[in-house]
Each structure stands twice: as C-alpha cells, then as structure tokens.
Structure 1
Amino acid sequence: MQFDENGICTRGCIEGYWGDKCLNDCPSTCPNIVCNRTSGLCGSCRDGYYGNRCEYHCHWKNKCSERKCNEKTGYCTSGCVSGYFGVYCQHPCGNCSSGTCDKISGNCEACNTGYYGTKCERKCSYSCFNHECRQINGHCTNGCNNGFYGSFCNSQCSENCAQTKCTRSGVCIGGCKPNWTGDKCDRCESQHYGPDCSQVCSVNCKRQACDNITGSCTYGCKTGFYSDKCEKSCRISCLSTFNSYSGEYEGECPIGKYGTYCNKTCNDNCINGCIKINGSCNFGCIPGKFGTYCLQTCGEGCVSGCRQADGSCTCKSGWQGHQCGEIKQTIEKCSKPDIYLALYGIITTLFISIFMNIVLIVRNTRRNVSNKEKQDTCQRNSTLYANTMYDRVEDNTGYQNLGQLSQPSHYDELK
C-alpha cells in the first residue's frame, strides 16, 4: 500500500476498505464484504438486505419468501412467507383457513370457523348455530341458537313463545303463553289487554272483546253503557241513536232536552222543546215571551204577543214604539205648528240682532284705529318740523356773528 505525505492512498485500498485513506470498512452486508473503494457502495447485497450500501433489512423482519427483495426498492421478489401479503409482505393475512392468502390483495379462499368476509376479517354472529356463517355475507349457515331468528340470528324470539323457540322467520314453535296470540305471540288474545296481557276486557264490551293495548271495546258496548271501555252507564234511556263509545246522541234529543249527552233541560218558555246544539228555542216561544231562548217579555202595549226575533208588535191604543213600550203624549196637534213658527221668529230676530251688533263693533274699531294712526302721523310730522326750524335758527346766529365782526372797529375810528 502506498500513500503520500497527507496519508492519502495513491493506489487505492485493499478489499474490505474504502475512502481516501482506506480507513472505512465495507458494509458486512455486501457479498464477501467487498465494496467500491472510493464510494463504499455495494455492487449487490446479501439475502435479506437492500440499499446502496445494503444497510436496510428486507421489510417486516424478513417476511419476504427466501428472504429475497429488490436491492433498490426492497419489494419482495419471491413473494411472502405464509400468513403475510403485500409488496413488502408487511400485512398479516386474516383468519384464512389455510393460513395463506393472495400475496397482492390478501383475500382468503376460505375462512376459519366464526369468521367471514373476503379477507375473513369479520366475526359471525354468536347466535349462529355452531358459530358458523357464510363467507360471502355472514348469514348463519346452520340456523340459529334457541331463542333467536333471522338471517344473522340477531333477532330474539318472542318471550311469549311457549317454548322460547321459533322458526327462522320468528314464528313461535309450540304456540304461545296464556293470554297471548299471533304467529309471533306478539299481541293479546281478544279478551285481554295491557303490557303483559294480564288485564281483562270489560264485561260490558260486546263479545267481551277489546283493543289489546288500550282496552277499548272492539265491537262497542252492551245496551245501557258507553265510553271507550263501556264502564259508564247511560244517564237516560239510551235510544238507537246513542253512541255507546262516547255517550253522545248522534241524532236529536228527546223533547225538552238538549246538549251533547241530552242531559240539559230546555227553557220552559220554549214551544216544542229546543235545538240540541245550544238549547235555543227555534220552534217559537209561549205568548208574551221573545228572544233566542224566550227569556225576554213582550212590551206592555202589544195587542197579542210579539215577534220572537226582535220583540216588535202591533200597539194598543195610547201606546207607541218599536216594542209598544211607550205611552203617547196628549199634546194637541194644531198647537205644534204655531209654537214652531214663534220659535223660528224669535231665533231669527236674535241672530239678526247679534250680527248687526258685530258689524257695528267691527266698524267702530276700525275707525278708532284709523284716527289714532292719523294723530300719530301728525304728531311725528310736527316734531320733525320743529327740529328742522331749530337747526335753521342756529345756522342764522352764526351768520349774525360774522356780520358783527365785519363792521368798522374803534381802531379804525382812531386812525
């Protein structure tokens, strides 16, 4: 081996080493521990390894068959060992009966008991007989355990089945427990009702038959009873129009009665009773009465009764008004026009007098205002004139002073 003053090998490295100074060991995963003397890369890898320097194990703890994989990607080149699938053999097979599955998809040809699905990844229902079901859809292969039914055996037989057994469609085997009926024993027989069918239908129900949940009589009530369970007695003699469920009369009530149950009495002032809905006297009132319920009395001045609708009537002599309840006044007819004419005259005169007084007041007011305005104007003019004259007098006084100054002085006389 030769190297220069810097320790760099001038003629390369011996086998098993690489680098400028040949100090690096070749990877032990390279065949014969031989690598490129410059880069340290392996030309190929030992079985079970891949990568440029064969530094990686083939995936998932050597699950590749024959421990062989692609030296660059790590993909298993010879498939997977039993029980695994995938390009790296990283996925375990499901509950396949043979323990093996398709190396690419992982699908099983058959499943272990208790499992189903393409990869046998799902569990059969525990209610399937022997825990066996079809691989394609999970339907129980050999039927269900006692007490269950359905394709997946996930529905329970009725607890009211006599033997707690039923067919795959849920029909009870061996019939029903007492008071229960139906193919699946899921309803009460005709004379019982309630959550556990222990309650007995009313003896007042026809055929003693009732609804299995509410207890309402299926075919109605026996004569003399009503309500949904027929436990109430009719208040009065039940007619053919009487509804035995509700206690209501579906037709008219007996004369003199009204209301839903015909248990209310019409007003005595009604003729031939009243109508069912509200007791109004639609067939008329006895003489002297009027109104919807015939409670109001006709006017004292009516000749013979009054109309039911509004109490109007024909009045006796000396009476007046819509209902003849007012006595006529005895004022003579001829005196009325004279009084009205006198009143009209007085009122007209009064209005004319008031109007004339208003006109005079307005005229005098306007005249007084005009005179006042004239006086004010004259006063203002007088004041203005006096001021003007005063100013003029003051001006003339100045001129006089100037004239006095212009006259000859004593000084001139001495000269």
Structure 2
Amino acid sequence: MMSIAFLLIFQVFFVSKVIHGQCTSNGTCVCHCGNCTSGCDACLPGWSGSIINHCQKSNTFYDKASENTTLLDGDFDTYVEDNSIPPYIRVEFQTIFELRQVDVTLELAEKIMYTVYVKSDPYRRSESIICSSFTSGYVSMKKTVTVTCNTPLQGKFIEIVASSLPRTTLKVFEIERFECSNGTYGENCSGICSAGCNKQCDKETGDCVCKIGYWGRFCNRTCPLHCIKNLCDSNTGDCYSCNNGYYGVKCQDRCAVGCLESCNMASGLCFCKPGFYSANCSLQCQSNCAQNECLQETGHCSRCENGWFGVKCESNCSRCGGNSSCDIKTGDCYLCSVGYFGNSCNKKCNEFCDSSKPCNKITGKCQNCKPGRYGEYCTEFCSRTCKNLKCFSNQSCVNGCEDGFFGSHCDSPCSAAVPSCNQCELVNNVPVCQRCADPLYLDGSACFECPDYCSSCSSSVKCLECKTKRFYGDTCNLTCNKDCLNRTCDITGHCVHGCDDGKYGSRCDQDCPSGCRTCHNSSVCFEGENGHEKLCNKCSRRKKLILNCKSYT
C-alpha cells in the first residue's frame, strides 16, 4: 500500500512540473502508465495508446457523464441496454462539447442500422444533428466502431438509436472520444512531433509551423543541399537562390550535358552541342532520325529510318496487323491485330465484349456482351437482381428477377411493397406476396407473426418448426417428454434420439420390463440390469436372438 501511495504522489508531482501530456522531439514523454519506474506495462484509466511513449492517447469523455456513467468508465464488461421500439441509449454529459469523431463499443446485431445523434435537446431527432450512421451488415458481434461525423456537432447529449426492424435489443458497453497529448499525434498518438516544429504540431495530422532551415508538412525535411545558406520556403522547400552550376526551384538540376556553355541559373536555358535539342539542350535527337540529325528548336527529324514514322520518327507500326505496315506520315494501320481497334490499332476492345465476336475495327463497339453487361461498349452493369445477370439494352432483365425483387429492372424489393415479404410477383401490375420472411406467415396478401415459440409456420395455429427441439405441438407450446434422450423431440413429440434407460416408445412414455435397462417393446429386451446382464448375453449368443430377459430370471 505504501509503495502504491508513493507512486501516485510521484506521478502527481512529476506532471505538475511539466506541460501536461507533453512529448519532446527526442521521444521523452510524460508517463500515463500504472508503473512509470520499470517500463510501461498498462495505461492509467482514461489513457491509452502506445505504451512505448507512455500512453499519450487521452479519453476526454472518461468519467464525464451526468447519467449512464457505466458507458464512460473505461470498463468494457459493463453495459447499458434497451429493447424499446426503436431501442435507444442516451448519455448526458456534464458540459457542452464539440464532436468530430467518437468510438462506440456495442453489440452489433445483424442487418440493424445504428444512428448517432449529438444534441442539446434530449428528445430532438433530426437530420441536422446526426453525426453519422453505420450497420453491421450480415454479422453479429461485439465491436468498437469509430464514427466520424459528417460535420462537427456541438451538444450535451449523445444518443445512439437502432433501427426498429427487425426488432432488436441495443446493448452499448462504452463511448469514448480520444485526443493526443501535446507533442504527439496520429490515430494511436504514437507519432512524435518533428524536431523541426517551432510550436505544437497538429494532434491529428502532425502538421506544424517550421523552424528556419526546415520545410514540409511535418517540418521534418531540411532545405535542399544546393540552396544558398541552406535557406528555403518552409511550405514548398523552394530555394531562394542556387549555388553555381545548379538551377531549378529547389536547385535540384545541373546544367544539361548538351549545353555548349554554362546555363542560365534561373531557367537552365543554353546553346546546344550538335546532336542535342530543346531550350536547355537536355534532349538528344531520336535514334530513328536518319544520321541522328534533328532541328535544334523542335527536335523534328529531317528524315526517318525505314519502319518508323512521325515528325521525330518516334513511332513504329508494331501494333498494326498483317505485316505491320502503316502510312509513313500518319501511322494509320491497314489492318488491326485481334483485340485492337482504331486507325493506329492502339486501342483495346472492351474486356467485356463477347470474345467470340470481336469489336468493330473503327468504333470499338461490341457486337455482344458478356453476362452482367450491356450497352454499345458493354460498359453498363445489369442489375444484380436480374436472374443469371442478363439484361437487354434497355436494362430490363432477360430471365426475370431473383427471389425478393420485382419489376422490369428487378430493382424493387418485395419487402418495400409488402412488409416482411421475401418473394412476390406482379398480378395485374400489383405486387402480390408469395412467401413471407421467417418467423412470419402469409395470410391472404399480408404477413403476420408466427406463434412465440415457432421459427417458421404456415398459420397462427400451425408451426412448421419450433425455435428449440425441447418443445412440440401445433404452436410449439408443449414440452418434450423428460424421458426423451437429451429431452429433445420433433414437432410431433416423437423422441428423435431415443429414450433414457428403462423407457421405450416413440414418445418414451412406456416402461421396459422389469430387469431390462433398454428394450424394444414390452417383450423384447436389448440389455439387462446388473445380475440379469450375463444371462441376457448368454442367451443372445446361444440363440442369436434378442430375448426377453425377464423370462430367464
């Protein structure tokens, strides 16, 4: 106890002598660990992040609630839950806050949409105060979700609302908002502000104002080597002037080898040696120019070597079909290789064209498309709810719709027309439900809830399957016989795995004969009890029959 008290006094004293939570550029940080003397083994409550730099990630929501304090206590095993319609959990804070991002640890339910509100009025719910929404998709799990607001919001309440269909229980374990201590930045506050920073860097990005001689977003880059006196613009790294022999905004370039004399230090312009061209003589004449000669101003060749074309003889006819022949001036091909089109055969047919029927040589239009695509160039997607992913050029589905959708484009869910409907069809241009989602049943054209213990049913009085194998009956309201093995039975009450010792019958409601442990009926015994066991085995071996043990006792 004394050692713990001493450690707490030491931490309070140490923090009071330095800027709270500061890390210096040499990696020295204020300690927010449970043990600060022999290495960080765990972070103090309300702090997290990398233990290498002693837990610099502060949970600014820690212990700041006026109610529902369980959600801000750092304990991920405690939770608050609600099963109202729709379920919601609201937290009131001690002061008004601005929120850009929040971490919510909750138990996600399958296909449920969750909406996070930040507000001053506890009962208000409108689009303008929605931070963001998220869903678990088809997965149910306990998870920490990082929610980034569409725009920063202010308020005194955070409210999490789950969608009401399908009905669910909202269970939230913890709500956290993190901020890095001074001198650190990044998602886990593991980044240390650069030594080139003149002041505290941005806690999210690490951006800062630079000292002289540094530049860049993080001020972690030194001015270019050939800047005079190593001075440069802190935002761009551009030099104010260059050492002799270099040019460019960062003095990064030497005068070109094609220069006859030294180049202009600002522009790099110079007069060229033979075989070079451009304003700064940095380019060589094309090798396909006849005798490697070109005009110094433009680099245009006077003549080309055989097999090349263009003003600089820079292009060949390798993409042309046949004998790779092309027009010497324009480069237009006379024939294209398979899979290409265009005057120069330099364009590929769309990969979704039907390869058995190549695209048009001039336009590239597809004759037919692969499944799932349509359009002149097969660039448009058929609806995913079209059967076999096939559609006509007007997007209507060739083979009709997948289950659960209707309409010519199969883009209308059955459940949007008839709540809880899983399959429907158009009758006189009106969607009519054919099958409901479990646990509901179809009555006429509407879906209704099955009895409580049914997982599926055909009516309010007829279950097709019970939620658990321990019940049976038309509405799954009867308990399986306790003598059924594992106490399980089918929906008719028959014991599917057999009977406990001493019982027989489809419902295990009949007693075996005296002296039998297991039996087939009242006269045929499978296994005897205690002293009868050897006699049963002996008789069975002799007669090769299953005998009535009682008759031999």
Common fold, TM-score beyond 0.5?
no
Of the two, which has the highest radius of gyration?
Answer: 1
**Larger helix proportion of the pair:** 1
Structure showing greater relative contact order (alpha-carbon pairs closer than 8 Å, 6 or more residues apart):
2
TM-score, length-normalised on structure 2?
0.22
